Amino acid sequence: MTCAELVELVTAFLDGALDPETEQRFVEHLAICDGCETYVEQLRQTIAEVGKVQPESLSDETRDRLLTAFRNFHV
Amino acid sequence: MGVVLPADDVLVAGLRAGDEEMFACVLNGWSGSMLRLARSFVSTAASAEEVVQDTWLAVLEGIGRFEGRSSLQTWVYRILVNIARKRGSREHRTVPWTSLAPYDGPTVDPSRFRDGDDRYPGGWRVFPEHWPNTENEVLAHEVRATVAAAIESLPVRQQVVLTLRDIDGQSAEDVCALLDISMANQRVLLHRARAAVRGRLEQYFASTAGVER
Protein backbone atom coordinates (compact mmCIF):
# COMPACT_ATOMS: atom_id res chain seq x y z
CA MET A 1 0.00 0.00 0.00
CA THR A 2 1.40 3.41 -0.95
CA CYS A 3 0.92 6.65 0.98
CA ALA A 4 -1.30 7.97 -1.82
CA GLU A 5 -3.53 4.91 -1.42
CA LEU A 6 -3.56 4.98 2.36
CA VAL A 7 -4.82 8.57 2.63
CA GLU A 8 -7.98 7.58 0.72
CA LEU A 9 -8.80 4.76 3.14
CA VAL A 10 -8.62 6.57 6.47
CA THR A 11 -12.38 7.03 6.92
CA ALA A 12 -13.04 3.39 6.02
CA PHE A 13 -10.30 2.40 8.48
CA LEU A 14 -11.74 4.54 11.29
CA ASP A 15 -15.19 3.02 10.65
CA GLY A 16 -13.72 -0.46 10.81
CA ALA A 17 -14.98 -1.03 7.28
CA LEU A 18 -11.82 -2.31 5.58
CA ASP A 19 -11.61 -5.99 4.70
CA PRO A 20 -9.14 -7.83 6.98
CA GLU A 21 -6.38 -8.05 4.38
CA THR A 22 -6.52 -4.34 3.48
CA GLU A 23 -6.72 -3.41 7.14
CA GLN A 24 -3.59 -5.45 7.80
CA ARG A 25 -1.70 -3.64 5.03
CA PHE A 26 -3.01 -0.31 6.28
CA VAL A 27 -1.77 -0.97 9.81
CA GLU A 28 1.59 -2.28 8.59
CA HIS A 29 2.12 0.81 6.45
CA LEU A 30 1.12 3.11 9.28
CA ALA A 31 3.60 1.44 11.64
CA ILE A 32 6.58 2.36 9.44
CA CYS A 33 5.48 5.65 7.85
CA ASP A 34 5.70 8.87 9.87
CA GLY A 35 4.06 10.86 7.10
CA CYS A 36 0.94 8.72 7.07
CA GLU A 37 0.88 8.54 10.85
CA THR A 38 0.78 12.34 10.89
CA TYR A 39 -1.92 12.36 8.21
CA VAL A 40 -4.18 9.98 10.13
CA GLU A 41 -3.64 11.94 13.34
CA GLN A 42 -4.57 15.15 11.50
CA LEU A 43 -7.74 13.60 10.14
CA ARG A 44 -8.67 12.58 13.69
CA GLN A 45 -7.97 16.14 14.87
CA THR A 46 -10.09 17.44 12.00
CA ILE A 47 -13.00 15.21 13.05
CA ALA A 48 -12.66 16.45 16.64
CA GLU A 49 -12.64 20.10 15.48
CA VAL A 50 -15.66 19.57 13.22
CA GLY A 51 -17.46 18.12 16.26
CA LYS A 52 -17.01 21.44 18.10
CA VAL A 53 -18.67 23.53 15.41
CA GLN A 54 -22.18 24.77 16.04
CA PRO A 55 -24.12 24.79 12.78
CA GLU A 56 -26.26 27.79 11.90
CA SER A 57 -29.45 28.19 13.91
CA LEU A 58 -33.12 29.00 13.51
CA SER A 59 -34.23 32.61 13.38
CA ASP A 60 -35.40 34.02 16.70
CA GLU A 61 -38.96 34.32 15.37
CA THR A 62 -39.19 30.65 14.43
CA ARG A 63 -37.61 29.61 17.71
CA ASP A 64 -40.06 31.75 19.71
CA ARG A 65 -42.98 30.47 17.67
CA LEU A 66 -41.99 26.87 18.41
CA LEU A 67 -41.50 27.53 22.12
CA THR A 68 -44.96 29.10 22.22
CA ALA A 69 -46.41 26.15 20.33
CA PHE A 70 -44.83 23.78 22.84
CA ARG A 71 -46.28 25.75 25.74
CA ASN A 72 -49.77 25.81 24.20
CA PHE A 73 -49.56 22.11 23.54
CA HIS A 74 -49.29 21.42 27.22
CA VAL A 75 -51.82 23.87 28.65
CA MET B 1 -19.92 16.06 19.72
CA GLY B 2 -21.93 19.29 19.61
CA VAL B 3 -24.36 19.30 22.50
CA VAL B 4 -24.65 17.00 25.47
CA LEU B 5 -28.28 16.14 26.09
CA PRO B 6 -29.87 13.78 28.64
CA ALA B 7 -30.60 10.18 27.66
CA ASP B 8 -33.55 9.57 25.34
CA ASP B 9 -35.95 8.27 28.00
CA VAL B 10 -35.37 11.43 30.05
CA LEU B 11 -35.82 13.63 26.97
CA VAL B 12 -39.00 11.90 25.87
CA ALA B 13 -40.51 12.02 29.36
CA GLY B 14 -39.62 15.71 29.57
CA LEU B 15 -41.17 16.54 26.20
CA ARG B 16 -44.34 14.62 27.02
CA ALA B 17 -44.62 16.32 30.39
CA GLY B 18 -44.25 19.79 28.85
CA ASP B 19 -40.78 20.55 30.23
CA GLU B 20 -40.00 23.77 28.36
CA GLU B 21 -36.35 23.85 29.26
CA MET B 22 -35.90 20.36 27.86
CA PHE B 23 -37.65 21.34 24.64
CA ALA B 24 -35.46 24.43 24.29
CA CYS B 25 -32.40 22.20 24.73
CA VAL B 26 -33.26 19.82 21.90
CA LEU B 27 -34.49 22.70 19.77
CA ASN B 28 -31.16 24.50 20.15
CA GLY B 29 -29.13 21.33 19.93
CA TRP B 30 -30.58 19.84 16.78
CA SER B 31 -32.11 22.64 14.69
CA GLY B 32 -28.79 23.67 13.13
CA SER B 33 -28.15 20.20 11.74
CA MET B 34 -31.80 19.97 10.74
CA LEU B 35 -31.55 23.20 8.74
CA ARG B 36 -28.55 21.84 6.92
CA LEU B 37 -30.31 18.57 6.24
CA ALA B 38 -33.47 20.35 5.05
CA ARG B 39 -31.44 22.64 2.82
CA SER B 40 -30.30 19.63 0.80
CA PHE B 41 -33.90 18.92 -0.22
CA VAL B 42 -35.46 22.34 -0.73
CA SER B 43 -34.49 25.35 -2.79
CA THR B 44 -34.18 28.22 -0.34
CA ALA B 45 -33.00 28.90 3.20
CA ALA B 46 -36.47 30.23 4.08
CA SER B 47 -38.04 27.03 2.83
CA ALA B 48 -35.58 24.98 4.90
CA GLU B 49 -36.52 26.97 7.99
CA GLU B 50 -40.19 26.18 7.41
CA VAL B 51 -39.38 22.50 7.01
CA VAL B 52 -37.59 22.54 10.37
CA GLN B 53 -40.51 24.37 11.96
CA ASP B 54 -43.04 21.91 10.51
CA THR B 55 -40.89 19.04 11.71
CA TRP B 56 -40.90 20.27 15.29
CA LEU B 57 -44.66 20.78 15.16
CA ALA B 58 -45.03 17.20 13.89
CA VAL B 59 -42.75 16.03 16.69
CA LEU B 60 -44.98 17.73 19.28
CA GLU B 61 -48.02 16.06 17.75
CA GLY B 62 -46.36 12.68 17.54
CA ILE B 63 -44.14 12.42 20.62
CA GLY B 64 -46.86 10.44 22.42
CA ARG B 65 -46.49 7.73 19.80
CA PHE B 66 -42.67 7.54 19.90
CA GLU B 67 -41.80 3.95 20.76
CA GLY B 68 -38.04 4.20 21.13
CA ARG B 69 -37.25 1.75 18.35
CA SER B 70 -34.67 4.22 17.07
CA SER B 71 -32.96 7.06 18.90
CA LEU B 72 -35.14 10.15 19.37
CA GLN B 73 -32.81 12.13 17.13
CA THR B 74 -33.06 9.59 14.32
CA TRP B 75 -36.84 9.61 14.66
CA VAL B 76 -36.99 13.42 14.48
CA TYR B 77 -34.62 13.51 11.51
CA ARG B 78 -36.73 10.93 9.66
CA ILE B 79 -39.80 13.10 10.10
CA LEU B 80 -37.77 15.99 8.72
CA VAL B 81 -36.61 14.07 5.66
CA ASN B 82 -40.20 13.07 4.87
CA ILE B 83 -41.44 16.63 5.13
CA ALA B 84 -38.44 17.98 3.21
CA ARG B 85 -38.81 15.43 0.40
CA LYS B 86 -42.47 16.32 -0.14
CA ARG B 87 -41.68 19.99 -0.12
CA GLY B 88 -38.69 19.55 -2.42
CA SER B 89 -40.75 17.73 -5.03
CA ARG B 90 -43.43 20.43 -4.80
CA GLU B 91 -40.70 22.96 -5.52
CA HIS B 92 -39.60 20.72 -8.41
CA ARG B 93 -36.19 20.50 -6.93
CA THR B 94 -34.15 17.51 -8.00
CA VAL B 95 -33.22 15.76 -4.81
CA PRO B 96 -29.45 15.42 -4.96
CA TRP B 97 -29.47 12.15 -3.05
CA THR B 98 -31.17 9.96 -5.62
CA SER B 99 -28.78 9.72 -8.55
CA LEU B 100 -25.52 9.73 -6.77
CA ALA B 101 -22.44 8.55 -8.56
CA PRO B 102 -19.62 9.04 -6.08
CA TYR B 103 -16.72 10.98 -7.50
CA ASP B 104 -13.65 9.13 -6.40
CA GLY B 105 -10.71 11.19 -7.57
CA PRO B 106 -7.94 11.74 -5.04
CA THR B 107 -8.67 13.80 -1.90
CA VAL B 108 -5.03 14.78 -1.47
CA ASP B 109 -3.24 16.73 -4.21
CA PRO B 110 -1.42 14.05 -6.29
CA SER B 111 1.62 16.32 -6.58
CA ARG B 112 2.24 15.66 -2.87
CA PHE B 113 3.25 12.11 -3.82
CA ARG B 114 6.17 10.70 -5.81
CA ASP B 115 5.74 9.73 -9.46
CA GLY B 116 5.61 6.25 -10.95
CA ASP B 117 9.26 6.33 -12.03
CA ASP B 118 10.46 7.27 -8.55
CA ARG B 119 12.02 4.67 -6.27
CA TYR B 120 9.01 5.03 -3.94
CA PRO B 121 6.06 5.71 -6.22
CA GLY B 122 3.01 7.02 -4.33
CA GLY B 123 5.11 7.95 -1.28
CA TRP B 124 5.01 11.44 0.27
CA ARG B 125 7.45 13.85 -1.32
CA VAL B 126 7.44 15.80 1.91
CA PHE B 127 5.64 14.55 5.02
CA PRO B 128 2.72 16.65 6.25
CA GLU B 129 3.88 19.24 8.80
CA HIS B 130 2.92 18.62 12.40
CA TRP B 131 0.20 20.95 13.63
CA PRO B 132 0.59 23.08 16.74
CA ASN B 133 -1.65 22.20 19.65
CA THR B 134 -4.75 24.36 19.79
CA GLU B 135 -5.09 24.85 23.53
CA ASN B 136 -4.20 28.51 23.07
CA GLU B 137 -7.56 30.28 23.09
CA VAL B 138 -6.91 32.67 20.23
CA LEU B 139 -5.69 29.83 18.06
CA ALA B 140 -8.62 27.60 19.06
CA HIS B 141 -11.02 30.36 18.06
CA GLU B 142 -9.39 30.83 14.66
CA VAL B 143 -9.28 27.08 14.08
CA ARG B 144 -13.00 26.89 14.76
CA ALA B 145 -13.69 29.73 12.34
CA THR B 146 -11.53 28.03 9.71
CA VAL B 147 -13.38 24.75 10.15
CA ALA B 148 -16.80 26.45 10.02
CA ALA B 149 -15.85 28.26 6.79
CA ALA B 150 -14.48 25.05 5.31
CA ILE B 151 -17.75 23.21 6.05
CA GLU B 152 -19.78 26.03 4.50
CA SER B 153 -17.81 25.76 1.28
CA LEU B 154 -18.39 22.00 0.86
CA PRO B 155 -20.91 20.62 -1.63
CA VAL B 156 -24.25 20.23 0.15
CA ARG B 157 -24.27 16.42 0.27
CA GLN B 158 -20.84 16.36 1.87
CA GLN B 159 -21.97 19.01 4.34
CA VAL B 160 -24.97 16.96 5.36
CA VAL B 161 -23.11 13.69 5.83
CA LEU B 162 -20.29 15.42 7.73
CA THR B 163 -22.81 17.18 9.97
CA LEU B 164 -24.76 14.01 10.74
CA ARG B 165 -21.68 11.89 11.38
CA ASP B 166 -19.15 14.24 12.99
CA ILE B 167 -21.31 16.90 14.64
CA ASP B 168 -24.37 14.85 15.63
CA GLY B 169 -22.39 11.65 16.10
CA GLN B 170 -24.88 9.47 14.19
CA SER B 171 -23.80 6.02 13.06
CA ALA B 172 -22.96 5.24 9.44
CA GLU B 173 -25.97 2.89 9.32
CA ASP B 174 -28.39 5.55 10.57
CA VAL B 175 -27.10 8.08 8.05
CA CYS B 176 -27.46 5.63 5.16
CA ALA B 177 -31.01 4.73 6.21
CA LEU B 178 -31.97 8.37 6.69
CA LEU B 179 -30.67 9.56 3.33
CA ASP B 180 -31.36 6.31 1.49
CA ILE B 181 -27.80 6.07 0.20
CA SER B 182 -25.39 3.13 0.12
CA MET B 183 -22.65 2.64 2.67
CA ALA B 184 -20.05 3.22 -0.04
CA ASN B 185 -21.60 6.54 -1.08
CA GLN B 186 -21.91 7.64 2.51
CA ARG B 187 -18.24 6.89 3.10
CA VAL B 188 -17.05 8.66 -0.05
CA LEU B 189 -19.00 11.80 0.88
CA LEU B 190 -17.76 11.71 4.47
CA HIS B 191 -14.15 11.10 3.53
CA ARG B 192 -14.12 13.83 0.88
CA ALA B 193 -15.62 16.26 3.40
CA ARG B 194 -13.15 15.42 6.15
CA ALA B 195 -10.19 15.53 3.75
CA ALA B 196 -11.29 18.93 2.44
CA VAL B 197 -11.59 20.36 5.96
CA ARG B 198 -8.20 18.87 6.87
CA GLY B 199 -6.75 20.57 3.79
CA ARG B 200 -8.12 23.94 4.88
CA LEU B 201 -6.70 23.47 8.36
CA GLU B 202 -3.34 22.55 6.85
CA GLN B 203 -3.39 25.77 4.81
CA TYR B 204 -4.35 27.74 7.89
CA PHE B 205 -1.56 26.28 10.03
CA ALA B 206 0.95 26.79 7.23
CA SER B 207 -0.05 30.45 7.00
CA THR B 208 0.44 30.97 10.75
CA ALA B 209 3.68 28.98 11.01
CA GLY B 210 6.40 31.12 12.53
CA VAL B 211 3.86 33.70 13.70
CA GLU B 212 2.56 31.88 16.76
CA ARG B 213 5.58 29.77 17.53
Q: Å from B91 to nearest chain A CA?
A: 21
pLDDT of B104 above 70: no
CB pairs under 8 A between A and B: 142
User: From CA A64, how far away is CA A60, in angstroms rounded?
Assistant: 6
User: From CA B56, how far away is CA A32, in angstroms rounded?
Assistant: 51
Q: What is the CATH number for A9? A: 1.10.10
The predicted structure's pLDDT at residue B103: 65
Q: Which of B7, B6, B59 is nearest to B31 (CA)?
A: B59
Residues 129-148 of chain B with CB under 8 A from chain A are 129-131, 134, 143-144, 147-148
The most distant pair of C-alpha atoms in chain B lies apart, rounded to whole Å, by 69
Tell me if B50 sits within 8 A of A59, measured CB to CB: no
ipTM score: 0.92
What residue spans of A1-75 are helical by DSSP H? 3-6, 10-14, 20-32, 34-52, 60-73
CA A7 to chain CA mean position, Å = 15
User: Would an 8 Å CB–CB cutoff place B155 in contact with chain A?
Assistant: no
pLDDT of B135 above 90: no
pLDDT in tens, B36-60: 999 989 989 999 999 999 999 999 9
Top pLDDT among B96 and B151 is at B151
| A74 band by pLDDT with thresholds 50, 70 and 90 | confident
Where do the domains of chain B lie? 8-90, 110-208
Query: In CATH terms, is domain B110-208 a member of 1.10.10.10?
Result: yes
Q: B148 and A4: CB-CB below 8 Å?
A: no
The predicted structure's pLDDT at residue B43: 87
**Full domain range(s) for residue A47:** 3-73
The predicted structure's pLDDT at residue B5: 87
For chain A, the domain total comes to: 1
Query: Could you tell me the fold of the domain covering B8-90?
Result: Rna Polymerase Sigma Factor; Chain: A (1.10.1740)
Prediction pTM value: 0.89
Q: B53 and A8: CB-CB below 8 Å?
A: no
| B213 band by pLDDT with thresholds 50, 70 and 90 | very low
Which chain B residues contact residue A44 at CB under 8 A? Answer: none
User: Would an 8 Å CB–CB cutoff place B31 in contact with chain A?
Assistant: yes
pLDDT > 70: percent of chain A: 99
The predicted structure's pLDDT at residue B136: 84
What residue spans of chain B are helical by DSSP H? 8-17, 20-39, 45-62, 72-90, 137-152, 156-162, 172-179, 183-208
